[in-house]
Amino acid sequence: MSDMITTVDELRQVIAKPIAMIETKEIDFLDEGARAWISKTPLAVFGFGDEQGIAITLGGGCLGFVSTDVHELRLPSAMLDDPSAARQGAGFGAIFLLPGITEILRVNGKVVEILDDEIRVAVEECYTHCGKALLRSEFWSPPADIVAPDDLAAFALASRFMALATMSAQGHADVSPKGDKAGTMVNIDGEDLWFADRPGNRRADSFRNIITQPRVAAMLLIPGTANVACLSGTAQITTNEAIRSQFAVQDKVPALATRIRDLSVELRHSPALARADLWPVSAPTEGINPTKIGIAHLKYKKGVGVKLVAAMASIPGLMDKALKDDYKKNLF
């Protein structure tokens, strides 16, 4: 295939580096805001990666089913759909979802201990992620009568949210949220699955991982249902215009498209998703302000540039307004 992205330099020619706020709000532990977020989380997606490959699974149950301290996550094995995905020493990535909240908390680290009933993860990265994937997919407001098809092609066509698990050549794992309207989320072409890159925070963690280590795992969801499609394969990134044009929305063509080859797919019921009982959402989760949590991370950073970003971010309402404007103008 022509127009393949094979280096990070080529990638950054298409996707510009993120703004300073995004680059500076990552911390290497769980502060008070992050721990409060996780304490109210009924559903999370976990990725585990090592030399054996990359795996993905849902975890869910009552609010706060994952326990924490400043430097550690403790995942109850019984709350994971596939606890065998976790392996001692594996890289770890997670996204934590809060009902009615569009932003996402991302946590990365390493599995340090696997007990009979618990998986312990040392935290290495923690940051908030923009809400575009959940907004595009209308994740928190699905139709009341939606039913998940039992045919793969139909399920893929109806899917509106995807969690993509990747890992670097050094074994650092990451889970990235993707969201779209039904019919534009993914495209299955023979034995390949394609998806597009929509505007986001521009960190490009998944793409940088794919360039150096192409094995991936992913999970497709149809919000409002408890069935999922779990898939794995090897990924390639392209700027091919004909392929990208297939994913155009509102006359906007995505900058990149990704193909997953050697595709393995399984449709299954998710007990974790059923236990989480996410829908319908009557009101956003109380007591969590994603903007304030993201801004709070800046106080742990140093440098003149960080101080300038923090000063701007501290102006009441400025960041919330900027986010709303961005979500309105740059959703696709």
**Using one digit for the tens of pLDDT, what is the confidence trace for 169-210?**
999 999 999 999 999 999 998 889 999 998 777 788 999 999
Residue 23 confidence (pLDDT) above 80 = no
Residue 77 confidence (pLDDT) above 80 = yes
What does the block give as tokens for 23? 């680059």
pLDDT at 268: 97
- Position with higher pLDDT, 187 vs 1: 187
Residue 21 confidence (pLDDT) above 80 = no
Label residue 309 by pLDDT band (50, 70, 90). Answer: low
pLDDT at 296: 86
pLDDT at 22: 65
pLDDT at 303: 61
Q: Is residue 171 in some structural domain?
A: yes
pLDDT at 211: 97
- The residue segments making up the domain with residue 116 are 8-329
Q: Is 77 exposed, middle or buried (0-12, 13-18, 19+ CB in 10 A)?
A: middle
Residue 217 confidence (pLDDT) above 60 = yes
**Cα separation values, 284 from 63, 103, 228, Å:** 14, 11, 24
Q: Starting at the edge strand that comes first in sequence, how are the strands of the sheet with 256-269 ordered?
A: 173-179, 161-167, 215-221, 227-238, 256-269, 192-197, 186-189
Give the mean pLDDT of 85-105: 97
Share of the chain above pLDDT 70, in %: 93
**Under a CB-based contact definition with an 8 Å cutoff, are residues 101 and 288 in contact?**
yes
Give the pTM. Answer: 0.94
pLDDT at 311: 65
Query: For all residues of the chain together, what is the average pLDDT?
Result: 92
Q: What is the pLDDT of residues 319-329, one digit of tens each?
A: 777 777 878 88
Closest CA to 156 of 132, 133, 184: 184
Closest CA to 274 of 21, 43, 23, 34: 43
Q: Is residue 2 in some structural domain?
A: no
Q: Is residue 324 in some structural domain?
A: yes
Label residue 24 by pLDDT band (50, 70, 90). Answer: low
Contacts of 15 (CB under 8 A, 6+ apart): 197, 202, 204, 207, 255, 256
Q: Is residue 1 in some structural domain?
A: no
Give the mean pLDDT of 106-131: 96
**pLDDT-wise least confident of 20-29, 55-64, 188-197, 243-252:** 20-29
Spatial distance between the Cα atoms of 10 and 207, rounded to a whole number of angstroms: 11
Q: What is the pLDDT of residues 127-166, one digit of tens each?
A: 999 999 999 999 999 998 899 999 999 999 999 999 999 9
Q: Is residue 294 in some structural domain?
A: yes
Spatial distance between the Cα atoms of 75 and 71, rounded to a whole number of angstroms: 14
Which residue reads 């597009």 in tokens? 196
Domain total for the chain? 1
pLDDT at 291: 87
12: domain CATH number?
Answer: 2.30.110.10
Spatial distance between the Cα atoms of 50 and 111, rounded to a whole number of angstroms: 10
